[in-house]
Amino acid sequence: MDIGVGQKKLDAVEEKCGLLETSIITKKTPLEAKKRQADEIFRDLQKNKNKVKKELKFFEDNSNCPTCEQDIDETFRDGMISTKGSKQKEYADAIKSLMGTIRTIDEDMDALRTMENELAERRNSRNEFSANMTAMKNSQVALKSEIEDIENAIAETDTGNRAQVLQDIENELGELEISQMALSGTKKTHDVAYELLKDSGIKAKIIENYLPIINAQVNQHLQDLDFFVKFEIDETFNETIKSRHLDEFTYASFSEGEKARIDLALLFTWRKIAELKNSVNTNLLILDEVFDGSLDAIGADEVMGKLLFKQSEDTNVFVISHKVDLIDRFDNTLKFEKVRGFSSKG
């Protein structure tokens, strides 16, 4: 390839990378801000909807006050039922409308991620192309120098020796062509290996075989934890989370306690996949401060009763925690205290 033509192509790739990068920078920050704002509004609407639902149920189920035992005026009660019912519908409609907005934002973010992937691929192509151009320029300089040396050598030899010099050059050229063919074959092999080892290559095919088991295990663990959503991942580990009403959510839209449930479901799922893949099942499970974070009391009970103690039938389970109210749940406990800056068995 001509160096000048190659440089023009490299400049075109550089220009395209610059345009993509500018477009991504322009769109990403405001889009992420819209996403955060939409998620916050969704949580507020859901919270208010649940609150109104609870208040509506109170007036529907009670004709007198459970606290002071006085009768609730029927007209007032009917008015509150009507008001709360209307308010509940308003929140439900607002949530439905907001979910459409969130889906649109998610689609825009998917498009942005596609642009980021394209930019990364173009940058890789640019770097590879630039390296090839540098190699070609260096090769061109070396060839020019070699040609000059040959021309000087021919000029210094007599007519009889020139034919031999040319023959030697042709022999060397033939050897270089054979070497080039061998290197081209090696390059093709490396290119095939590169395609196979990419995230979208053979690794994705292997993961695809395990996806039904992974998704089934995760959803089973989530049900055990009384978290009724449909969780799925694809071969590139992009998650899709849907509610009972098939509304789509992202991991970031859940509370910290709900995220903890998802994390634990994934943890126990990967443990099961490792057992299936390696045909080896370790009898040791260590959970370090799992119950000390954002997991609420109900979630802790569900993890204990429905996940952890199932494991303990044939597994040595060690739970590291600062919560003293967990002590009565285990057969054996070890207590450590900080003494003069060092941990010591109490």
Pairing status of strand 342-345 against strand 336-339: antiparallel
Residues 210 and 316 in one domain: yes
**Cα–Cα distance between 76 and 3 in angstroms, integer?**
87
Instruction: Supply the CATH number for residue 17's domain.
Output: 1.10.287.510
Residue 221's nearest CA partner among 264, 275, 259 is 264
Residue 270 structure tokens: 């990967």
- Per the listing, tokens 């070396």 go with 142
Three-state DSSP state, 237: coil
**Cα–Cα distance between 174 and 246 in angstroms, integer?**
68
Question: Does residue 217 lie within any of the structural domains?
Answer: yes
Q: In this prediction, what percent of the chain has a pLDDT beyond 90? A: 0
Residue 132 structure tokens: 């090839």
Residues 176 and 226 in one domain: no
Domain boundary, last residue among 112, 142, 172: 142
Tell which wins on pLDDT, 185 or 278. 185
Residues 277 and 328 in one domain: yes
Residue 202 pLDDT level (bands cut at 50, 70, 90): confident
Residues 277 and 208 in one domain: yes
Residues 7 and 118 in one domain: yes
Residue 221 pLDDT level (bands cut at 50, 70, 90): confident
Q: Which amino acid is at 324?
A: V
Q: What is the mean pLDDT of residues 272-288?
A: 75
Residues 74 and 93 in one domain: yes
Which residues, in sequence order, are bridge partners of residue 318?
A: 286
Domain boundary, last residue among 97, 115, 142: 142
Tell which wins on pLDDT, 257 or 7. 257
Handedness of CA 291, 293, 297, 302 (dihedral sign): negative
Residues 162 and 206 in one domain: no
Residue 305, pLDDT score:
64
Instruction: Supply the CATH number for residue 269's domain.
Output: 3.40.50.300
Number of domains the chain contains = 3
Q: Is 132 a residue whose pLDDT tops 80?
A: no
Residues 121 and 225 in one domain: no
Q: Is 53 a residue whose pLDDT tops 80?
A: yes
Count of Cβ atoms closer than 10 Å to residue 217 Cβ = 20
Are 49 and 95 in contact by the 8 Å Cβ rule? The answer is yes
Q: Is 312 a residue whose pLDDT tops 60?
A: no
Question: Does residue 151 lie within any of the structural domains?
Answer: no
Q: Is 300 a residue whose pLDDT tops 80?
A: no
Residue 60, pLDDT score:
81
Residue 159, pLDDT score:
54
Q: Is 2 a residue whose pLDDT tops 60?
A: no
Residue 271, pLDDT score:
80
Question: Does residue 147 lie within any of the structural domains?
Answer: no
Residues 181 and 271 in one domain: no
Question: Does residue 152 lie within any of the structural domains?
Answer: no
Structural domain of 325: 202-345
Residues 129 and 45 in one domain: yes
Residues 257 and 239 in one domain: yes
Residue 162 pLDDT level (bands cut at 50, 70, 90): low
Residues 235 and 300 in one domain: yes
